[in-house]
Amino acid sequence: MKTITEVLEWALAQKGTKAVDHNYYGEWCAQFVNEALGNIFPTDIKASCTRQVDYAKRQGWQTHSKANGSVGDILYYEGLDSIVGDYDHVGIIVEVYDNYYVTVEGNTSGVNWRSTKVNTFTVSKDSNVIGAIITPPYTVSPAYVKPSTKHASGVYSIKDVSTFYPRVQEIQHMLNVVINAGLTEDGYFGKLTSTAVTCYQQQRRLEIDGVVGRETLSNLVFDYFKI
């Protein structure tokens, strides 16, 4: 399994590619997600959205209500065809806003699937086609410190960790790229990292609290992948 940033970076870099570019077969959205995640689904499951959801639930991966998805979560659609109880499309959430998500998806279109491409899409958080939102077991480098843990020298200023648990080291890296923060990427959310977050929030006219909450994280990830 990969880190969140590795998955998003790879997936977004595939925009414009087709199924044939990846040796995918059939309606290939599920295979695209599987490859993005580092081929974590068994062979007999990787090409089926419904089987992926069932497998993820059996493995105990974290699930969310449709309004509580976060960057890096996998969003499964249902109700796009006539099969009841079937998940028929999937994408990776790359941006989160108050009322909608932006996803990157291996596009499918029935018999025309060979000519469709990876692209980004928007979906309303209250959409009836959102069937499941699941957080994969992203890899944590030994250098990362889980933000839900109290550090010997201080407390991490990250809230809502049960929903999106971003890694401090990844945040430091994105701040270094986006605003040239000059942080040591050590996974410790100390004064310098908090100050860098505040500076970023000032630049983006966000709520200035030094906390990497849902809105700050979404904007930071978006800015990072624009560069």
Buried-state track 61-86, b at ≥16 Cβ within 10 A, e below 16: eeebebebbbbbbbbbbbbeeeeeee
Q: For 90-110, what is each residue's pLDDT tens digit?
A: 999 988 777 888 899 998 766
Q: What are φ and ψ of residue 171, in 5° steps?
A: -65, -45
Q: Which two tokens stand for residue 82?
A: 């006539």
What is the pLDDT at residue 110? 65
| pTM of the predicted model as reported, rounded to 2 decimal places | 0.66
What distance in Å separates the CA atoms of residue 145 and residue 167, rounded to the nearest whole number? 7
Contact 157, 99 (CB under 8 A): no
For the chain, list residues with pLDDT below 50: 141-166
